[in-house]
Chain A
Amino acid sequence: QVQLVESGGGVVQPGRSLRLSCAASGFTFNIYGMHWVRQAPGRGLEWVAVILYDGSNKYYADSVQGRFTISRDNSKNTLYLQMNSLRVEDTAVYYCAKDRSSSYSYGMDVWGQGTTVTVS
């Protein structure tokens, strides 16, 4: 079945870096756009970034632009989120999610279970 499994979360000090991974299975990874979405404790959902099916284009939320980098390795069916210059306000559960299109045109249809990042 379609599955997304995030990893790489943990506790990190402000200003440090962390890289999240999302392993995909059960679908043809290299034809779909992929997203990262986060949720701070007790708060709503916040979209973070999207990468097109071939990695050719990437889009970011203003709150992470210049600090976070989304990437993918289609040979490994894996999505990444490199997070630099982390701030306390980046503390959240980070979800990876698959789009129904090759970009972001149809929104997220499958979500991972999330990985927790704590900046403290």
Chain B
Amino acid sequence: DILMTQSPSSLSASVGDRVTITCRASQGIRTDLGWYQQKPGKAPKRLIFAASTLVSGVPSRFSGSGSGTEFTLTINSLQPEDFATYYCLQHYISPLTFGQGTRVEIK
């Protein structure tokens, strides 16, 4: 199984900060990776697919990059509604695997 190691597990940031979250795959997954945002009590929402393609309607302050084994989600100018938990997901091969999540909290 492919292990997705996501870091950090949590972070504290202020409105307006730039935030970077990283996912490392235990083997190459091309760009078969998505990023999801989840708020408490809600279903996940996809932000990024194919590692770097922004889902329609998602603010442009979100961006993704990477291929192979190293991937990054960046949030430029963090907004109050961005405080949530973020997950990466590899769908290169079954079983699909998520990173353990990054909780973004208000400093």
CA distance A111 to B87 in the complex (A): 14
Q: Are B45 and A61 in contact (CB under 8 A)?
A: no
Report B33-87 residues with CB < 8 Å from chain A CB: 33-34, 36, 38, 43-46, 49-50, 55, 87
Interface 1/0s, chain B 90-107, versus A by CB < 8 A?
010011111111000000
- In the assembled complex, how far is the CB of residue A77 from the closest CB belonging to chain B, in whole angstroms? 19
Q: How large is the interface on A (under 10, 10 to 19, 20 to 34, 35 or more residues)?
A: 20 to 34
Binds B, one of A8-16, A19-27, A100-108: A100-108
- Which residue of chain B is the closest to A99 with respect to CB atoms? B91
Residues of chain B within 8 A of A35, CB atoms compared: 96
* Chain B interface, number of residues (Cβ within 8 angstroms): 24
Contact of A44 among B33, B95, B96, B100 (CB under 8 A): B100
Contact of A106 among B49, B94, B101 (CB under 8 A): B49
Residues of chain B within 8 A of A44, CB atoms compared: 87, 98-101
Q: Are A47 and B97 in contact (CB under 8 A)?
A: yes
- Which residue of chain A is the closest to B93 with respect to CB atoms? A104
The verdict on A88 contacting chain B, using a C-beta distance below 8 Å, is: no
> 9 nearest interchain CB pairs?
A59-B94, A111-B43, A107-B91, A47-B96, A107-B34, A44-B101, A45-B98, A61-B95, A44-B100
Extra A-B contacts (20), CB below 8 Å, given A107-B96, A109-B55: A37-B44, A44-B98, A44-B100, A45-B36, A45-B89, A47-B89, A47-B97, A47-B98, A50-B96, A59-B94, A59-B95, A62-B1, A95-B43, A106-B49, A106-B50, A107-B89, A108-B34, A108-B46, A108-B89, A111-B45
Some 15 contacts from A to B, beta carbons below 8 A apart, are A35-B96, A44-B98, A45-B101, A47-B97, A50-B94, A62-B95, A95-B43, A100-B49, A106-B49, A106-B50, A107-B32, A107-B33, A107-B49, A108-B44, A114-B43
* Residues of B bordering A, CB below 8 Å: 1, 32-34, 36, 38, 43-46, 49-50, 55, 87, 89, 91, 94-101
